[in-house]
Structure 1
């Protein structure tokens, strides 16, 4: 059933990870704002991985919505999305601390905190999936 609360959490996580990277910048130089998709044109491999991880997180969390028939697999895929976002968050922190010319980078954008929101939503979705699984197990015991 797609109309469950965890599907809404997963859909919002997909929208944040796949849609808001076009709206919010990652950081701002004196000259320009750097968005996630602007990093594809950079030379560093670390910088090219960041938008890929954002998009991978969006795709996997969207596909996780349709695994409602297999709740255990849906739970595991949710944990995979959490790991992807934790890796993405660590990579963003590493890049923000090692960027050359830190004096020129005056502001960090809200796009760097999007993985935290996605992790929170996936944790809530996994909690709801676990609650559904426990409900099904309790009904099976009565039979």
Structure 2
């Protein structure tokens, strides 16, 4: 389980989705207060669900097909989060001096990259097992 590279990618995706949301802010309101993922309930639920899917996918190492499907579902969830952030950033006023978009908006992109790398490694393992089965 731990010796496979996709486990490392899934663990990094879980850390990005579950841990870094408390470090980086998403945006700054015109009043000057920083909004974190914990301040917006649906964003917090999306990030924690993404982290949970990554952890569940790590422990599904015996069933590569379900691990691959969970990775794809997690990528879709992160694209939904990214769409919500794009919508929110377009609604924030960018012309005032006080309004600022935070680095936390890009966390779903980092998570998507790690999940895509994990799915690529899972697919590679599945192809290797199928090629060995053909030789028997």
Q: TM-score, normalised by structure 2?
A: 0.93
**Structure 2: unaligned runs, 5 residues or longer:** none
Could you tell me which of 44, 47, 50 is aligned with 1:54? Answer: 47
**Structure 1: unaligned runs, 5 residues or longer:** 40-47
State the 4+ residue runs in structure 1 displaced beyond 6 angstroms.
none
Q: How far off its partner does 1:101 sit?
A: 8.6
**Structure 1 vs Structure 2 CA RMSD:** 1.6
1:3 aligns with 2:25: no
State the alpha-carbon separation in 2 of the partners of residues 32 and 134 from structure 1.
50
Contact 1:22 1:37 in 2 (8 A): yes
Q: Deviations over 1:3-52 (max 9, x none)?
A: 2100000000000000000000001235211111012xxxxxxxx31111
Number of paired residues?
135
Which residue is equivalent to 1:97? 90
Q: TM-score, normalised by structure 1?
A: 0.88
Which residue is equivalent to 2:36? 35
Which residue is equivalent to 1:42? none
